Amino acid sequence: MNKTMEKINYLNQYGGNNLTEKPLEYYLEVFEKTDPHKISSRLGIPYDSLRKEFTFAFLGQTYTARYPDLQIIPVDSEDNLFARNPKARILLLRYLLYSTVYFPDGEFKSYREFPSGELYYNVFRGRCIQRLLRSYSGRIPDFKEAAGKLGGILIPGGDAAVELELFDNLYIRFLLWEGDEEFPASSQILFSSNFPAAFSAYDLTEIVEIILGVMKEKGVQK
């Protein structure tokens, strides 16, 4: 199958289920009609029937999300990313409505290794991998500080590497190499191998852009 046909087939399968194809109102309408107990069971996140709210973790912070109007409240901070970022709200709705999260097996994969990842790799590379490098090359202390503010932990790898937990049991790793006389500076982004059951490859670019945008908001990015 040539790449044009592969792209058409991919968009037919996933085009209506990504962070930009459908408006926020569409997902809210679907959310209002979905049984919250089924969402809780599928994702393994708590749902309080009396208070009518989910409790979930996102980038190191705990939130509640009320059903059915999706009022989102941070539990342990006054900083509410979802209140100011429509794409983050759509991401949350996509997670609640469509994701299945399996317990991670400890394996991580590059974007290219996911279904249709090869097809969209150049977009992901430009908007995510290269942006990471442009933002933090030569600024490893700032990189570590930014990731730490999102609950990131330092891990072995590259000249600096951090692991972030997007939602429960969904992990993303950001790696930087400073480069020298022989090799240029470079970066890489890896995803826990359970991501395909939660989000399509098309979504991953938007997800990483949300994360890098939050890092910029923290004031430690160029």
Domain boundaries, the chain: 3-98, 108-217
Mapped onto helix, strand or coil, the DSSP state of residue 74 is strand
Is the confidence at residue 4, as pLDDT, over 50? Answer: no
Token representation of residue 125: 């590379």
Q: What is the pLDDT of residue 21?
A: 58
Which secondary-structure segment (H or E) carries 210?
Answer: helix 201-217
CATH 3.40.50 is the classification of domain 108-217: no
Is the confidence at residue 102, as pLDDT, over 80? Answer: yes
CB burial string 26-62: b at 16+ within 10 A, e below: ebeeebeeeebeebbeebebebeeeeebbebbbbbbe
pTM of the model: 0.88
Query: What average pLDDT does range 106-115 have in this prediction?
Result: 96
Phi/psi region, residue 59 (left: phi>0; alpha: psi -120 to 50; beta: rest), is left
Q: How far apart are CA 203 and CA 54, in angstroms?
A: 23
Q: Locate the DSSP E strands across 103-204.
A: 108-110, 153-154, 160-165, 171-177, 186-192
Give the pLDDT confidence of 7-37 residue by residue, as tens digits. Answer: 434 344 434 445 555 789 999 999 999 999 9
